[in-house]
Amino acid sequence: MQYFTEAPVSLKADMQDEIIEIKLWGLYLLSTRASIYNEILEASLDHGPVEKNPQKPGRITFRFKVKEWESKIKKLLYLHRIPVIVTSNVSYYPASFTRQPQMVA
């Protein structure tokens, strides 16, 4: 049986602009000797965690491009056995597309 490990080119083009959001426990990042936290900060879209949720202390949310997640971050977290929850996989649209037109008087 033949397995395909590559996604179709059209799917890869669509994945370039998608954003993935993950949640993990901050304790795991601080307790490891490696500089995992710094690598995650550099790779995240916001260059840091997204706004903290006061209802769930200790949880940290990060956003990444799917390409960065698949190539680097997912492997890094798996290598260091850090549990992660993928909370969303949303499409990214340029700001010009999402802005509402302004009325000129």
What mean pLDDT is predicted for residues 37-45?
89
* Region 20-42 average pLDDT: 84
Distance CA 16, CA 3 (A): 23
Residue 18: its pLDDT value, please?
87
- Over residues 75-94, the mean pLDDT reads 78
In a domain, 5, yes or no: no
Query: Is residue 6 a part of any domain in this protein?
Result: no
Query: Residue 33 and residue 45: Cα distance in Å, rounded?
Result: 24
Neighbours of 4 (CB within 10 A): 6
Q: Is residue 100 part of a domain?
A: no
98 belongs to a structural domain: no
**Residue ranges making up the domain that contains 56:** 22-93
Q: What is the mean pLDDT of residues 25-35?
A: 77
Pull the structure tokens for residue 83.
Answer: 């549990």
Q: Which residue has the higher pLDDT, 17 or 90?
A: 17
Rounded to whole angstroms, the Cα distance separating 9 from 58 reads: 39
For the record, the structure tokens of 8 come out as: 């179709």
Counting every residue written for the chain, the total comes to 105
Number of domains in the chain: 1
Residue 52 reports pLDDT greater than 70? no
The letter for the amino acid at 32 is T
What integer pLDDT is reported at residue 38 of this predicted model?
A: 86
The verdict on residue 34 lying in a domain is yes
Q: Is residue 3 part of a domain?
A: no
Write the single-letter amino acid at 13. Answer: A
